[in-house]
Amino acid sequence: MHMPLKEAETLVQAAFEANGVLPETARSVAHALVQAEAAGQYGHGLRRVPAYIGQARSGKVDGRARYVASRPRPAVLTVDAALGYAYPAFDLAVERLPEIAREQGIALCLIHRSHHAGVMALTVERFAEQGLTALMFANAPASMAAWGGRKRLFGTNPIAFATPVAGDDPLVIDLALSTVAAGKIMAARQKGESIPEGWAFDADGNPTTDPNEALRGVMAPSGGAKGAALALMVEILAAGLTGSNFSREASSFMEEKGAPPSVGQMLVVIDPAAGTASAGERIAELAREMVSEEGVRLPGRRGQNARRKAIESGLHIDDEVLTSIKALV
């Protein structure tokens, strides 16, 4: 069925509140999941609601966590997500980092004791809309091996980037360092669909098109050895430098049982004017050159257009997804 975004957010927020999550946290999480759905990122959208709430019920996520921010150095903000959902920590970063970045030229945010980062494009884009350039790194429960190995060591460890473009929407890049995001395999499993070959390997290291076998095995790194090396880099930035669990220590984002994942995220936010006042115009010049060639699309446009369409016509929500959410209210 089709549902307006605001109605969807109200329903999801009610489901979280009905299961003991603080209203302000429920509002933040509901907004993030609905926006992910609107952007077409279904694996990070409404299909996550039952798992998120199940983890709040089991205590794997603290739905009543109180998030604590501190500023140990002039350009550094630390956020303790207190084993709660990640989105309120991101809201804190979006609220406080712009002032620091404009004051110092650059701001660093270190988030620890955190949870699933979701669609990071939606977080970095919020900075670009304020005229700032942002980079974001996150680690996730182990699903990839080091290059040449079979043991789960790194997560899909996504990287996101956004920057303002003069006179246009921000340019936004969001990519997992696996061939695809784990959420797409989870969505395929929920739908009973197979996955394309090349996405993952089974527990014996063989290519598989079965999402169940893929989730028991390892994800394929994007770009082979290069993707595995980047996953290591993100592991160090998001977990090593924030004092969070490494991917191999983190429990699943998808299962209700187990200890809190306690992963980390890092944000680097830059004031483009610190280098040159013409940064936005120069970036716009590059963007125009890109799209002057037939077949070239600027990163981020697909999700931005999908969200505009969803604002106008509402979300199309599969019946089984809607039923599963309503059952939690």
Q: Confidence class of residue 260 from pLDDT cuts 50, 70 and 90?
A: very high
Q: What is the pLDDT of residue 283?
A: 97
Tell me the residue range of the domain where 86 lies. Answer: 68-178+221-298
Q: Tell me: pLDDT of 322 over 90.
A: yes
Residue 63 belongs to some domain of the structure? no
Whole-angstrom Cα distance, residue 188 to residue 251?
21
With contact defined as beta carbons under 8 Å apart, do 154 and 146 qualify?
Answer: yes
In a domain, 39, yes or no: yes
The pLDDT assigned to 18 comes to 98
227-240 core/surface letters (b: 16 or more CB in 10 A; e: else): bbebbbebbebbbe
Whether 95 and 226 map to the same domain: the answer is yes
Residue 115 domain flag? yes
SS (H, E, C) the chain: CEECHHHHHHHHHHHHHHCCCCHHHHHHHHHHHHHHHHCCCHHHCHHHHHHHHHHHHHCCCCCCCCCEEEEEECCEEEEECCCCCCHHHHHHHHHHHHHHHHHHCEEEEEEEEECCCCCHHHHHHHHHCCCCEEEEEECCCCCEECCCCCCEEECCCCEEEEEEECCEEEEEEEECCECCCHHHHHHHHHHCCCCCCCCEECCCCCECCCHHHHHHCEECECCCHHHHHHHHHHHHHHHHCCCCCCHHHCCCCCCCCCCCCCEEEEEEEECHHHCCCCHHHHHHHHHHHHHCCCCCCCCCHHHHHHHHHHHHHCEECCHHHHHHHHCCC
Tokens of 58: 């089991």
Percent of the chain with pLDDT over 90: 87
Q: Binning pLDDT at 50, 70 and 90, where does residue 149 land?
A: confident
How much is the pLDDT for 284? 97
Per the domain annotation, does 162 fall within a domain? yes
230 and 320 in a single domain? The answer is: no
The answer to whether 283 and 165 are in contact (CB under 8 A) is yes
pLDDT given at position 120? 98
**Any domain includes 279:** yes
CA distance 177 to 212: 20
Residues 161, 14 share a domain: no
- Residues 135, 159 within the same domain: yes
pLDDT score recorded for residue 162: 98
pLDDT in tens, 3-32: 999 999 999 999 999 999 999 999 999 999
Q: What is the pLDDT of residues 40-95, one digit of tens each?
A: 999 899 999 999 999 999 999 999 999 999 999 999 999 999 999 999 999 999 99
Beta strands 263-270 and 144-145, pairing class: unpaired
pTM beyond 0.95: no
Mean pLDDT of 267-277: 95
Same domain? For 75 and 174 the reply is: yes
Q: Does residue 14 sit within a domain?
A: yes
Write down the pLDDT at residue 180: 84
* Exposure string for 159-188, b = 16+ CB within 10 A, e = fewer: bbbbbbbeeebbbbbbbbbbbbbbbbbbbb
Q: What is the CATH number of the domain that holds 324?
A: 1.10.1530.10
Which of the four pLDDT bands, split at 50, 70 and 90, describes residue 292?
very high
Residues 158 and 304 in one domain: no
Q: Are 28 and 85 in contact (CB under 8 A)?
A: yes
Residues 72 and 37 in one domain: no
Residues 160 and 245 in one domain: yes
Average pLDDT over residues 303-309: 96
- The answer to whether position 310 is within a domain reads yes
Are 34 and 46 in the same domain? yes
Q: Read off the pLDDT band of 182 (50, 70, 90).
A: confident
Distance CA 84, CA 25 (A): 9
What is the tally of structural domains in the chain?
Answer: 2
* In-domain check, residue 149: yes
User: Token digits for 268?
Assistant: 């680097």
Task: Write down the mean pLDDT value for the chain.
Answer: 95
Q: Are residues 163 and 94 in the same domain?
A: yes
Q: Which two tokens stand for residue 187?
A: 């969505």
Mean pLDDT over residues 221-232, rounded? 93
Same domain, 32 and 168: no
The CATH code of the domain that includes 90 is 3.30.1370.60
Q: Which one has a higher pLDDT value, 148 or 320?
A: 320
Mean pLDDT along residues 302-313: 96
Tally of CB atoms within 10 A around 154: 30
pLDDT for 148 equals 81
Query: Could you tell me which residue, 277 or 150, shows the higher pLDDT?
Result: 277
Both 18 and 75 in one domain: the answer is: no
For residue 1, the model assigns a pLDDT of 83
- Assess whether pLDDT exceeds 90 at residue 310: yes
